[in-house]
A and B are shown apart, each in its own frame.
Chain A
Amino acid sequence: MSIWVEYLISFLILVGAGFTLLGSIGLARLPDFFMRVHGPTKTTTLGVGAMVMASAIYFTVTGDGVSLHEVVATVFLFITAPVSAHLLTKAALHIASRVGK
């Protein structure tokens, strides 16, 4: 594995970890429920995306053959993240309208 590939992989892992951390900070700092939903939905898109790319590159370079699991994992995450966000916010709206906010 050449040094440039190592740099690229490290960079992607750092970016992924960084955005995941930012999502958690958002979760802790933002004041109300609807704002907090933004944290986790965001980190899955870019944070996990970057880490998964790092994993794909690493196992493609070191292992035997192309590693494609990761692409599928990303696709599934991209499909499911909006669904959970939708269900959470919809449930929250129902409760909010019942309590009268």
Chain B
Amino acid sequence: MSRLLPHPALSVAIFLVWIALNNASSSGHFILAFILAIGLPVLTQRFWPERPEKVKLLPAIRLFGVVLWDILLASIGVAKLVLGPIDRVKPAFVEVPLDMQDPFVGTLLASIVSLTPGTVSIDIDRSRWVLQVHALNVDDAETLIKSIKTRYEKPLKEIFSC
């Protein structure tokens, strides 16, 4: 992009966050938000690694909805597990092989897996591109791996086309 706006998406995010933090209370804050949105990305430009070029908006919104819905459903599932007999819970370490080799998208996938209850991602093994996941209750590891891959990884690959 241009030198004035090295990271347009970041600028938009800073602008919106500043407005939200001040509850859009006065026009002065709009001007301040504008200055910050231009200034901060320029100042921090060297910290930012290469980012994915194109982002598809529609699948991104759909994925956001799926994740919110899954958080709701799976929270109820975990609640049942926690209140029920503990010795019936079967935790397991699961390794999910990844189809992409992008640190940024991998981080996003790991965060989504951590946020959806029942699974916490531990690490991405970058030598083999495997996402290590700890799951609270696993009946069948294959189904869990498959659901992570189809529900989250496939849309992420579509969004960032990688």
Is B one of A's binding partners?
A: yes
Taking Cβ atoms with an 8 Å cutoff, the residues of A that contact B are 19, 22, 25-26, 29-32, 34-35, 37-39, 41-42, 45-46, 49, 65-69, 71-72, 75, 78-79, 81-83, 85-86, 89-90, 93
Report B's interface with A, CB cutoff 8 A.
Answer: 17, 19-21, 23-25, 71-72, 75, 78-79, 82-83, 86, 89, 91, 110-111, 113-115, 117-118, 120-123, 134, 136
Count, A-B residue pairs, CB within 8 A:
97
Main secondary structure of the interface of A (DSSP, over half): helix
Give B84 Cβ to nearest chain A Cβ, in Å.
10
Residues of the B chain whose Cβ atoms lie less than 8 Å from the Cβ of A46:
71-72, 75, 117
Show 20 A/B contacts (Cβ-Cβ < 8 Å), sorted by A: A19-B75, A22-B79, A22-B83, A25-B82, A34-B120, A35-B89, A35-B91, A37-B120, A38-B118, A41-B114, A45-B75, A46-B71, A46-B75, A49-B71, A65-B24, A66-B24, A68-B19, A72-B20, A85-B114, A86-B122
Instruction: Tell me the dominant secondary structure on chain B's binding face.
Output: helix
